[in-house]
Amino acid sequence: MTTKPAHSNYPLVDVLAIWAESTSTLGDPIMGNTASRTGLPWPSDPEDLRHFATVTDGRLLVMGRGTFEALPARMKTATALAKRPMAVLTTRSEFRVVRKNLLEVNASRVEPGDITKLVGMLAHWSKRVRVAVIGGPTVIERLEPAIDHATVTYISGAYPGDVRAPSTRFLDTFRSEQVLGKTAQGNTIVHYTNAAH
């Protein structure tokens, strides 16, 4: 098992993974649908969206290119980026600041589980950074050794989708399952803590 990287130069408050998942019409766990306008396979759940907004407020959002492109335009405005700066892991560029509080980093420059390297590239931000890894599944799995806890919304029902959810093995190192609540639409929000931390 990989141990959590030392954060001595950048003592992170915490690293959270957050996503919603459901079951595809084929029975597989999914978290997205690239054919959907919103990127989500299921209808919008206002309570879950409010939960996401609350939990990620003030955090550096780390994601892959597909997740970034699926985000609504309102999350990419200067005002929104001031509250939730974004780092997009991509294979398209080496490193570039797209605009204030939005950067692209070549995924190969971020070692699996090593958030400190990414934070180190963001010298203009506070050294006490809270991070939220929001997707896609490959990014969440790649950064798992650094993730302190995860919040997963389990969407009831089956939907067509083509973006898999993180591997069920991802939560094998997590414990302290705590149900945070159910939304009016019957979706369950569960919080997990990484047992290795």
Question: In this predicted model, what pLDDT tens digit does every residue of 67-84 receive, in sequence order?
Answer: 999 999 999 999 999 889
pLDDT surpasses 80 at 10: no
Mean pLDDT of 89-94: 81
pLDDT surpasses 60 at 92: yes
Mean pLDDT of 144-169: 93
Q: Give this prediction's pTM.
A: 0.88
Residue 23: pLDDT band with limits 50, 70, 90: very high
- Report the top-level CATH class of 14-194: alpha beta
Please give the pLDDT value at position 126: 56
Torsion angle (degrees, nearest 10) of CA 81, 82, 88, 93: 100
Mean pLDDT of 177-187: 94
Please give the pLDDT value at position 195: 83
